[in-house]
Amino acid sequence: MDEHTAKRLIEESELLNEDETSEWSSVEALWKPYISQDDLEAQFRLAYYYLFGCFDEGPEKRTEMEKLLRTAADRAHPDAVYWLGHLYPEGAERDSLLLRAGELGSLEAQRDLGALCATGDWTGPHDPARATEWYRRAAERGHTDAQYNLGFMYLRGEGLPCDHMEGLRWLHCAADQGDEQSLRLLADLYRNGHYGVPLDLDEAERWDKQYRQTELYHLSEERRAAKAADPLA
């Protein structure tokens, strides 16, 4: 399957997945012709949309889709390996699949491995240096949360030498893509001069203005207003 076809089918599948009135047969019809050609991407996508979408055609269909996902994972599809891990409870087997997915190049797996190495909340080691390596892999491919976390680790000197300029560079990368937490952090850094960042009120206002347009800001304001109205809530 060429890239253009895959992109078109993904877009159509996403629209169907978001529509609660959609029939599973409509999604299946998009990918089945390519599955009959033993297309790896089609195997992963069809299984993914069923197992992690809004469809439920009963236990037989679920078993069929789990088998299809395993087939794609056995063929080393990075995201199939990543999502196969979600079918397992937390533990060594799930973490092993996550690690394999990251090594194969799954973007989300690389970000997750960064977080787990940073916190130690898995069966693997607590290793901030390794966390920065995983975050960097995902950050260099444009993952905004990985860019945010890598930037923050640079600011704090966790897992690598403290470097506020490099930290700001990664936060800017994420903020330029609209990452809400990066917008908020940049405004705070420039306003208060934390972690050695030079005070710059113009920059603080620029980033804060963008942050105030985000959903995260409005949700925060709604919670603040609700708490003010009922302090015991």
pLDDT tens-digit profile of 78-113?
A: 999 999 999 999 999 999 999 999 999 999 999 999
**Secondary structure letter of residue 163 according to DSSP:** -
* Helix axis angle, 92-104 to 78-85, nearest 10°: 160
**Secondary structure letter of residue 198 according to DSSP:** P
pTM (predicted TM-score)? 0.91
pLDDT tens by residue, 134-182: 999 999 999 999 999 999 999 999 999 999 999 999 999 999 999 999 9
d(CA 120, CA 134): 14
d(CA 64, CA 70): 10
Q: What pLDDT does residue 222 have?
A: 80
